[in-house]
Amino acid sequence: MNISGLEPITDTNPLAAEDPQVWQYIQNESQRQANTLELIASENHASAAVIAAMGTCLTNKYAEGYPGARYYGGCEFVDQVEDLARDRAKAIFGCEHVNVQPHSGAQANAAVFFALMDHGDKFASLVLADGGHLSHGMKINISGKYYQPVHYPLNYDSGSPDFERIDYDAVRSVCMEHKPKMVLCGYSAYPRVIDFKRFREIADECGAILMADIAHIAGLIAGGAHPSPFPHCHVVTTTTHKTLRGPRGGMIMTNDADIAKKINRSVFPGTQGGPLMHVIAAKAVCFGEALQPAFKQYAKQVVKNAQALASNLEQKGYRLTSGGTDNHLMLVDLRSRDADLTGAQAEGWLEAAGIIVNKNGIPQDPRPPRVTSGLRLGTPATTTRGLNEGHMAQIADWIDRAIAGQGDEAATKQVRNELQELCRQFPLPH
């Protein structure tokens, strides 16, 4: 890793002066981010303003409770911050009730489950291995231990035009058979548009609450590049740091006053204590950015870039699950290039060349999660950097060369040198 050009340690930076070791590690990470291309679909580059909000005195404040009803004195200004964050989120997503306190997406999901289901209740979701999330019913997660997941399938018929897409008829069958208390849609590795209206029809037919976890696509929804879960879903969770490009954190939204009341009690004191007010301030800043017209352009460009990257990879012979993408991510089936190639190998070769990705299982992957047959690639971070469809053709070429080189030192170095020139031309926003 090239970390030359680090700023010298000076006593004008309080962190550098007090703890040069931590400061140095942070500088190294900053240089790593600057000198590589980030294609992890769940990562992004937050703005300098978002990052500045997190490094403030709001971290000092205890504010258990909600604005106007706290268990601590001195909350006048943090109340304003939390109200502002909630109001901006309502304006972005067009909903009536928002809780901005969840520390993460998994915490938000746990709070919704705790609010709306009893121990042992059934819920329907997509299994992690098919693109779901660990908090959607993985056996060793609280969602799979305290509640009963029943999983609906994708279409597994390779001859079907809907291969590897949500099979809505099968969702309906599973839901009508099991009568779950909740139906959960929204995924971590699913490249296609989600039909929230169809999910609501199924939920209504089987008498279930409809929950959407829009962690991955929240920024696309905010920017009008993916349909909204409202008014179809009863409750919606998200993270704020993926396509939404804010601080690391979670959020829960609903239009139902009764659900909102239960959710608020479930977040605090049900599953969390004091909110992270410095992070909530950064959420407010992020939401302010998402309300700007430029964010619509950003969201649309994320999708255009993903589609450009997808078609360039397909031209090079890589099979993409479901045949492409409608959103910010794609799943590459590496076996289409070489039956023995694994996600773990490709992830390592790409990282050495300066392209950061994650290995990812593909639907019905015979290999275990630490190996996998696939890669998940996404364009939120490179789009933030200012890259466009033309750059995606170049990136597809680098990906292909790095994989074909199988870690060969000269081939890897060549890609890395070319890529660093692009990184220099498109610096990070912070």
Which residues of this chain interact with ligand DSN, rule CB under 6 A?
A: 42, 105, 133, 188, 215
Q: Which two tokens stand for residue 275?
A: 């909110």
Q: What is the residue type of 11?
A: D
Q: How far apart are CA 229 and CA 216, in angstroms?
A: 13
CA nearest neighbour of 293 among 378, 218, 222, 244: 222
At its nearest, how many Å lie between ligand DSN and the CB of residue 42?
A: 3
At its nearest, how many Å lie between ligand DSN and the CB of residue 166?
A: 17
Residue whose CB is less far from ligand DSN, 200 or 359: 359
- Which residues, including other chains, have CB under 8 Å from residue 9's CB and lie 6 or more apart? 16, 17, 20, 23, 24
At its nearest, how many Å lie between ligand DSN and the CB of residue 198?
A: 23
Residue whose CB is less far from ligand DSN, 35 or 44: 44
Active site residue 213: yes
Q: Report which residue's Cβ sits closest to ligand DSN.
A: 42
The residue from 36, 237, 238, 239 that is catalytic is 239
The residue from 64, 121, 351, 408 that is catalytic is 64
At its nearest, how many Å lie between ligand DSN and the CB of residue 13?
A: 31
Q: How far apart are CA 312 and CA 315, in angstroms?
A: 5
What is 339-386 written as a DSSP string? TT--HHHHHHHHHHHTEE-EEEPPTT-SS-TTT-SEEEEE-HHHHHTT
Active site residue 64: yes
Q: How far apart are CA 325 and CA 166, in angstroms?
A: 13
At its nearest, how many Å lie between ligand DSN and the CB of residue 109?
A: 10
CA nearest neighbour of 121 among 129, 112, 130: 112
What is 192-238 written as a DSSP string? S---HHHHHHHHHHHT-EEEEE-TTTHHHHHTTSS---TTT-SEEEE
- Which residues, including other chains, have CB under 8 Å from residue 425's CB and lie 6 or more apart? none
Q: What angle in degrees, to the nearest 10, is found between the helix axes of 389-405 and 409-425?
A: 160
Residue whose CB is less far from ligand DSN, 345 or 358: 358
CA nearest neighbour of 134 among 107, 106, 104, 165: 106
Residue whose CB is less far from ligand DSN, 249 or 288: 249
Active site residue 347: no
The residue from 32, 43, 62, 319 that is catalytic is 62
Active site residue 316: no
Q: How far apart are CA 102 and CA 331, in angstroms?
A: 29
Active site residue 248: yes
Active site residue 389: no
- Which residues, including other chains, have CB under 8 Å from residue 328's CB and lie 6 or more apart? 41, 216, 217, 219, 220, 243, 302, 303, 306, 378, 379, 380
The residue from 130, 164, 213, 365 that is catalytic is 213
Quick check: 242 and 380 in contact, CB under 8 A?
Answer: yes
At its nearest, how many Å lie between ligand DSN and the CB of residue 358?
A: 7
Q: Which two tokens stand for residue 344?
A: 């773990």
At its nearest, how many Å lie between ligand DSN and the CB of residue 414?
A: 29
At its nearest, how many Å lie between ligand DSN and the CB of residue 381?
A: 12
CA nearest neighbour of 319 among 153, 163, 152: 163
Count Cα atoms within 13 angstroms, Cβ side, for 73: 0
Q: What amino acid positions are annotated as catalytic residues?
A: 62, 64, 213, 239, 242, 248
